[in-house]
Structure 1
Amino acid sequence: MIKILRTFNLHFGEESREKVMEDVKANISFKGANLWVLACAIVIASVGLNVNSTAVIIGAMLISPLMGPIVGAGFSLGTYDFDLLKKSAKNLGVATLVSLFVSFLYFLLSPFKEAQSELLARTAPNIYDVLIAFFGGLVGGIAITRKEKGNPIPGVAIATALMPPLCTAGYGLAIGNLAYFSGAIYLYTINCFFICISTFLIVKLLKYPKVKFVDQAREKRITRIISVLLVIMLVPSFYLAYSLLQERKFAQNVSQFIEKEFTSKGHTIIFERTQFNSRVKKIELALLSKRFNAAELKDLNDRLENYNLTNTELLIRQDSTDLKRDILAEISKQSQHVSEKDITIQNLRNELSTYTFNDKELIQEITTLFPEISPFSIGKQLVFINPDSSYAEVVLLHSSKKNVADAELKRLSDWLKIKLKNQQVKIVADPNS
């Protein structure tokens, strides 16, 4: 039993406490370089959220110095160093305001205002975010007190995700969406608070000495304040987690209901929409050809309870005019979600098509009328007269083993000019043939 306890002893590999406190205090301040690094990291994270790039967001979290004052607050609470606590809180406030301003400015100026999945993921925190922040903070607190810091510190920066919620809050302000702003700020507050609390617990567990003497009454008051804040943070997150669980169960039950009552019976669903957050939950469907009478619709609504879909109403859209309008509206909505990347790829494909020949009929005609030049390749190239002037030229490169007469090559050139309606045509013999 003693050996097992020694295995889990946190004092093994512990850095000297003076050195740890020195490092903690050094990372609290947000002046000069630290503030510039934070602002740049916020811009990078905002771009990542804007273009929905997870890799860019992770990079921003790795270079962010936001953990410093939060860890400092945890150490100051654990050692009852109230001067350090005030300094940590002040610097965290400065960092938060600067981050909000930079992200707000970025999203205000950005032409792309659409909420991507990476942004939406930071607008509805729940108990799982609490667990991530708490255990991430524990790992961070342990790593900071080690001689060998190792890999945990970058991992904690990624896992606890302080930057994305701040950027999402700035996005919410920029587009005037207070729901996004409040959800993201709540997630950021959860992360800060539970990283601080878990650091506080590590400091207590390692029995760091108190900087100031605190009587029992004041110590109890501090503990009571922390407990109240814990409840304030936990209750909404539990509620949000419960709501998320219920919504996912509802979606699973709806899928099961549709599969058993429609799809498995050969009915094709062409329109589906669900409403979970309304007073009476709704399932709206439209089928390709099947029509239901009033008795059949009542029977289907009665069967909803068999799939744990209580307080739910099934609506079958059978009015073709309304249905067509809704489907067109849905298609229009989906078309707006085409990413900039897809548009760029399509533009590049269109540009590439202007330099390639995929006209099989033309290739066949050249092969038939001028068999002596085969094999050959044909394409377009830009010819630059000067940096501001250029023209497109059709080039046919042939690798014929025979000596092709100049007259024959001129006849081919004249034929291509007429065929392609382009006077800029060049016939070139491959020097390597």
Structure 2
Amino acid sequence: MLRSIYKFFNLHDGEETKDKVLENVVSNISFRGANLWILACAIAVASIGLNVNSTAVIIGAMLISPLMGPIVGAGFALGIYDFDLLKKSGKNLLIATLVSLLVSFLYFLLSPFKEAQSELLARTSPNIYDVLIAFFGGLVGVIAITRVEKGNPIPGVAIATALMPPLCTAGYGLAIGNISYFFGALYLYTINCFFICISTFLIVKFLRYPKIKFVDPKRESRITRTITFLILVMLIPSSYLAYALLQERKFSQNVNTFIENELTRKGYTLIYERTQFNARPKKIELAFLDKKFSRDELKELNDKMEVYKLRNTQLVIRQDSTDLKADILAELSKNSAHVDERDVMIQNLRKELSTYKLDNDGLLKEIDLLFPELKPYSLGKQSVYVSKDSSRFDYYLIYSSTLEDNRKRSLENWLKEKLNTRSIRFLKSE
């Protein structure tokens, strides 16, 4: 029974020869000539996809990207204790990263559309799911590389691990001068690289790839110690990072459950929410539309947070309307740093319409009082093109009733004074 189960999960079944796998891995590390051009074009395509918020274009760019080569190479190098391969992989990964940042930076610098779309914003901060995707995606990729029949997982791995979009987002952050976007996206890219590398290392060890042999025992011992230290440097911070991201995710879920059960379900309208996970103590700031909490109610809510595993967390409900308004405006200003193109268009249209609009409510009332015989009538403003480079605005008054000449002159003089214009045209409708 156990032997049958083992056969189902035996990774050695269908495995390519180890020498052939290593040869393929080494050949995909280098970024020279065609590989570098393909990477630059893929980054340009991904940047366009992020710019226009097209998921399909981003996926297409990830499919043609050769970026995983040096990361997998580094994982193999750690697994077989090949220091030279590790240095070569690290050097080529650095070259690929710098070229990718440069191409994306230049694209977004020259692009007229610099609004932060949802696909861009999704790559500015990592979460626990990014760690899991990178790790399991890396496992699938390495397993596929070690097979005789490569199958179809490689394109899926290229999409799932999503190495390119964070790099493009980092270039976008540089282009618009937003350092938080740059470091957030670069942080996500680094996480993906680390966990793909770790998953590669684990599979190499599991499949028992032989360590490289050295002639000099002292050099072998030195390189073994160096690579062991590098493995620990990668594993320990990465494990802590994964744990920290998991704790932050759990904290956010507990906060949402607490707010839902204890506040919004009771009919209180939430208008402001801000959580600070990294503060000491952790902090939840809330504000509500019309509910004012007494001291006893605040104490009761703080006590209930223990039930939702929100220990060492301070609940602050903002009830000072002046300070709250300033904070909300500041938050809105921060989140609206880039005005949407549609908003700009709407503003321009409003400005153009205002040139034709008459603010004439008061004026019409005065006309009704001074010239009651004029009704019905209409008063408007129209652009008149005098020549190719010259235009002016004329005011038109269209009426159908009988208006005596002296009354017409009085109305004309009065309107010129009121509207501060020399041009009033009277049109008699039939």
User: What SS is found at the alignment partner of 1:291?
Assistant: coil
- Distance in 1 between the 2:135 and 2:218 partners? 27
Structure 1 window deviating more from structure 2 (37-46 vs 163-172): it is 163-172
User: What SS is found at the alignment partner of 2:279?
Assistant: coil
Report what 1:97 is aligned to: 98
Shift in CA distance, 160/302, structure 1 to aligned 2, threshold 3 Å: closer
Q: Does 1:13 align with 2:14?
A: yes
Q: Are the equivalent residues in 1 in contact too, given 2:124–2:188 (CA < 8 A)?
A: yes
Q: Are the equivalent residues in 2 in contact too, given 1:122–1:183 (CA < 8 A)?
A: yes
Shift in CA distance, 2/212, structure 1 to aligned 2, threshold 3 Å: same
Amino acid paired to 1:148: E
Indicate the RMSD between aligned Cα atoms, in angstroms: 4.0
Shift in CA distance, 228/130, structure 1 to aligned 2, threshold 3 Å: farther
Structure 1 window deviating more from structure 2 (46-55 vs 110-119): it is 110-119
Q: Are the equivalent residues in 1 in contact too, given 2:127–2:249 (CA < 8 A)?
A: no
What per-residue deviation string (whole Å, max 9, x for no partner) do you get for residues 353-409 of structure 1? xxxxxxxxxxxxxxxxxxxxxxxxxxxxxxxxxxxxxxxxxxxxxxxxxxxxxxxxx
Q: Equivalent residues in 2 for 1:243-322 (5 A)?
A: 243-322=244-323
User: What SS is found at the alignment partner of 2:31?
Assistant: coil
Q: Are the equivalent residues in 1 in contact too, given 2:115–2:339 (CA < 8 A)?
A: no
Q: Does 1:29 align with 2:30?
A: yes
Report what 2:69 is aligned to: 68
Report what 1:137 is aligned to: 138
Work out the percentage of aligned pairs sharing the same amino acid: 76
Report what 2:157 is aligned to: 156
Structure 1, unpaired ranges of 5+: 348-433
Q: Equivalent residues in 2 for 1:41-190 (5 A)?
A: 41-76=42-77, 78=79, 84-125=85-126, 129-190=130-191
Shift in CA distance, 266/231, structure 1 to aligned 2, threshold 3 Å: same
Q: Are the equivalent residues in 2 in contact too, given 1:80–1:214 (CA < 8 A)?
A: no
- Distance in 1 between the 2:185 and 2:237 partners? 13
Report what 1:419 is aligned to: none
Amino acid paired to 1:145: T
- Distance in 1 between the 2:79 and 2:271 partners? 60
What per-residue deviation string (whole Å, max 9, x for no partner) do you get for residues 221-269 of structure 1? 4444344333333444444444444444444444444444444444433
Q: Are the equivalent residues in 2 in contact too, given 1:126–1:237 (CA < 8 A)?
A: no
What per-residue deviation string (whole Å, max 9, x for no partner) do you get for residues 140-162 of structure 1? 23322322211111122122222
In the TM superposition, residue 39 of structure 1 has moved relative to its aligned partner by: 0.4
- Distance in 1 between the 2:307 and 2:210 partners? 61
Structure 1 window deviating more from structure 2 (331-340 vs 6-15): it is 331-340
Q: Are the equivalent residues in 2 in contact too, given 1:70–1:196 (CA < 8 A)?
A: yes
Amino acid paired to 1:30: F
User: What SS is found at the alignment partner of 1:146?
Assistant: coil
Q: Equivalent residues in 2 for 1:406-417 (5 A)?
A: none
Amino acid paired to 1:46: S
Amino acid paired to 1:150: G
Q: Are the equivalent residues in 2 in contact too, given 1:137–1:198 (CA < 8 A)?
A: yes
Shift in CA distance, 50/226, structure 1 to aligned 2, threshold 3 Å: farther
Report what 1:381 is aligned to: none
Normalising by structure 2, report the TM-score. 0.64
Work out the number of aligned pairs and report it. 347
Shift in CA distance, 277/50, structure 1 to aligned 2, threshold 3 Å: farther
What per-residue deviation string (whole Å, max 9, x for no partner) do you get for residues 125-147 of structure 1? 46654544344333323322322
Shift in CA distance, 109/79, structure 1 to aligned 2, threshold 3 Å: same
User: What SS is found at the alignment partner of 1:213?
Assistant: coil
Amino acid paired to 1:153: I
What per-residue deviation string (whole Å, max 9, x for no partner) do you get for residues 72-130 of structure 1? 34445555655554443433332222112112222333345455554444444466545
Shift in CA distance, 212/264, structure 1 to aligned 2, threshold 3 Å: closer
